[in-house]
């Protein structure tokens, strides 16, 4: 976590601001969903897709701008000055269009092919789609911090900041600390996995300057991961996402853990 109380407060405020941007993107996506007429899906898709990509681009730029202001203030809190590079990322319209197409019309078709009525498939696909639109929008800030960290010679790396109630996947990535964009971990697949965010994910990122000390919550994620990884190594002979994550879900108290699912029944 940040070295200073002010830095920690700025990071938390930034996370909340980014989640707000994602939420507003979801509201727009849900409003536009009615334009994806299930009775003329192929004909409706081009205009619907263009509107959603435009919305994602707008919120992506807002997300990046919010992150840029945060980084400047955060540097003052952590280092005593706001000097340093700010690398603004580029919105990838083609990639975003492909992601939204798959989460929207393509998913509706797949659900209908699986036996749902057209109306039911249209309704069922909305939740996942709105989460993907939120992710696309929030990537502006996430990518700005990722690319800025890579250009900042004073930075150790950046760490993933949990939304306070992460799933096992996010908890695992939070447990790794400031390995992302770390010069010491260049080429490491673990360090390169930092910008993996699922739909509706509320995690953000924080640049780390100096020694990283895990918070109480982060230490909990570390302990869960290490226990699961040690068992995976002992039983399966290898620690990978496939061998570790299900054990974290089985034994932990994260959002997708077995204990939480039983409680919600």
The pair phi, psi for residue 207, each rounded to 5°, is: -70, 140
Number of Cβ atoms within 10 Å of the Cβ of 148: 23
**pLDDT computed for residue 188 by the predictor:** 63
Number of Cβ atoms within 10 Å of the Cβ of 5: 9
Report percent pLDDT > 90 for the chain. 83
**pLDDT computed for residue 264 by the predictor:** 46
Q: Quickly list DSSP for 202-244.
A: --EEEEE-S-----HHHHHHHHHHHHHHHHHHHHHS---HHHH
The pair phi, psi for residue 203, each rounded to 5°, is: -75, 150
3-state DSSP assignment of residue 55:
helix
157 - beta bridge partners?
A: 208
**pLDDT computed for residue 223 by the predictor:** 96
- Using 70 as the pLDDT threshold, list the residues of the chain that sit under it: 184-194, 261-265
Beta carbons of 231 and 247 less than 8 angstroms apart:
yes
Number of H helices, E strands in the chain: 9, 2
**pLDDT computed for residue 265 by the predictor:** 41
**pLDDT computed for residue 1 by the predictor:** 79
Q: Which of 105, 163, 155 is nearest to 138 (CA)?
A: 163
Number of Cβ atoms within 10 Å of the Cβ of 133: 31
Q: Which helix (H) or strand (E) holds 160?
A: strand 157-161
**pLDDT computed for residue 191 by the predictor:** 57
Which pTM value belongs to this model?
0.91
Q: Quickly list DSSP for 68-84.
A: HHHHHHHHHHHHSS--S
Beta carbons of 59 and 24 less than 8 angstroms apart:
yes
Tens digit of pLDDT for each residue in 158-191? 999 999 889 999 999 999 999 998 876 655 666 5
The pair phi, psi for residue 115, each rounded to 5°, is: 125, -10
180 - beta bridge partners?
A: 158
């Amino acid at each position: 976590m940040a070295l200073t109380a002010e830095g920690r407060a700025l990071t938390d405020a930034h996370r909340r601001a980014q989640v707000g941007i994602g939420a507003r993107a979801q509201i727009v996506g849900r409003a536009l969903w009615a334009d994806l007429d299930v009775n003329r899906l192929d004909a409706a898709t081009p205009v619907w897709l263009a509107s959603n990509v435009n919305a994602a681009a707008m919120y992506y730029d807002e997300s990046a701008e919010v992150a840029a202001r945060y980084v400047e203030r955060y540097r003052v809190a952590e280092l005593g000055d706001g000097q340093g590079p700010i690398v603004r990322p580029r919105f990838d319209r083609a990639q975003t269009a492909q992601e939204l197409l798959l989460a929207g019309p393509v998913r509706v078709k797949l659900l209908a092919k699986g036996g749902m009525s057209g109306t039911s498939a249209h309704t069922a696909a909305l939740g996942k789609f709105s989460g993907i639109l939120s992710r696309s929008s929030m990537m502006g800030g996430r990518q700005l911090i990722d690319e800025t960290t890579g250009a900042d010679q004073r930075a150790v790396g950046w760490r993933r900041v949990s939304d306070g109630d992460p799933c096992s996947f996010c908890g695992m990535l939070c447990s790794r600390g400031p390995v992302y964009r770390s010069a010491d971990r260049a080429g490491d697949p673990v360090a390169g996995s930092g910008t993996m965010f699922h739909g509706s994910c509320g995690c953000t990122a924080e640049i780390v300057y100096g020694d990283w000390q895990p918070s109480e919550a982060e230490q909990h994620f570390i302990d869960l991961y290490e226990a699961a990884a040690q068992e995976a190594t002992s039983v399966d002979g290898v620690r990978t996402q496939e061998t570790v994550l299900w054990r974290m879900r089985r034994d932990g108290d994260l959002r997708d853990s077995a204990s939480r699912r039983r409680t919600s029944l």
